[in-house]
Amino acid sequence: MQGVEIDELARLSVLGISGGVSTPSRTTAVVNALVKAVALRVPADTGLIEITEAAPSLFAGLSRGAIGASGEAIIQRVEKADLLVVGTPVYRASYTGAFKHLFDLVDYRALTGKTVLLAATGGSPYHGLVLEHQLRPLFGFFGAVTVPTGIYGSPDNFINGEIVGAAISERISRAATEAVSLLNSNHADAAVAARVG
Ligand SMILES: Cc1cc2nc3c(=O)[nH]c(=O)nc-3n(C[C@H](O)[C@H](O)[C@H](O)COP(=O)(O)O)c2cc1C
């Protein structure tokens, strides 16, 4: 497996998903920064799903069969991406209902082995463990491989919606490096599996 690098293979699709509803959204800022940090490290096609834009399609129905073509297209983007960068504001000590609804529509088999980078923002530092107590178990259910370092942003980490401060910036860099390492490992496994049939 050693020596097989992502750049020998196809470009990766890196998809950010932001559950933020404000303008500007702190959550979207963090998701965008993470997607950008990953794309600096590996050839990637990047995209972003914002819940504010996706909600009318996703809430057209409460089940996969009822959401229509535009909702189905959104869910398929999620299912097909190589890396998901998921971010949610903390609402009532958890991810938002809209964020969870999106993942309730994803096929329970579709994220198995997929690399997922976790992010959240909150109105105080006290709900930072939402990453470990809500987001990581959700993606554990899917059998996804979550990146060890998650990003939690509280109001001190932003000025006018922009991320500020060395600590959170260093954490974003570390999370992106870990994500790329996991992606390399996944692709090496896939390449080996393809070679041995
Ligand atoms: C309905 C609602 C519930 C919230 N609940 C919490 C909470 O439980 N804990 C917390 O730290 N912040 C809470 N907040 C604050 C948001 O998580 C915080 O402002 C977040 O950064 C907003 O993200 P956005 O700018 O991407 O919309 C809540 C905000 C709203 C509107």
Of 34, 90, 96, best ligand 1 pocket probe by most atoms within 8 Å of the beta carbon: 90
Range(s) of the domain holding residue 130: 8-196
Cα gap 175→187, rounded to integer Å: 18
Q: State in Å: Cα 12 to ligand 1 middle.
A: 32
Q: What are phi and psi of 170, to 5 degrees?
A: -65, -35
The residue whose CA has the least distance to atom 1 of ligand 1 is 91
The ligand 1 site (C-beta within 6 Å) comprises 20-22, 25-28, 89-93, 121-124, 127
Does residue 190 register a pLDDT over 90? Answer: no
186 found inside a domain: yes
The number of distinct structural domains making up the chain is: 1
Q: Lowest mean pLDDT: which of 1-10, 104-113, 130-139, 168-177? A: 1-10
Counting atoms of ligand 1 from 1, which one is nearest the CA of 125? 11
Q: State in Å: Cα 89 to ligand 1 middle.
A: 5
23 found inside a domain: yes
What is the pLDDT, as a whole number, of residue 6? 56
Integer Rg of the chain from CA: 16
For 18-45, the pLDDT digits (tens) are 999 998 999 999 999 999 999 999 999 9
Query: What average pLDDT does this structure show over 136-153?
Result: 98
Q: State in Å: Cα 81 to ligand 1 middle.
A: 27
144 found inside a domain: yes
For 55-98, the pLDDT digits (tens) are 999 999 999 999 999 999 999 999 999 999 999 999 999 999 99
State the pTM of this model. Answer: 0.93
3 found inside a domain: no
For 101-113, the pLDDT digits (tens) are 999 999 999 999 9
**C-alpha neighbours within 13 Å on the C-beta side of residue 111:** 26
1 found inside a domain: no
Per DSSP, 164 falls in state -
Q: Tell me which residue has tokens 């690399």.
A: 115
% the chain with pLDDT above 70: 90
Q: State in Å: Cα 110 to ligand 1 middle.
A: 29
Q: State in Å: Cα 52 to ligand 1 middle.
A: 15
Of 49, 91, 100, 160, best ligand 1 pocket probe by most atoms within 8 Å of the beta carbon: 91
Q: In CATH, what number is assigned to the domain containing residue 141?
A: 3.40.50.360
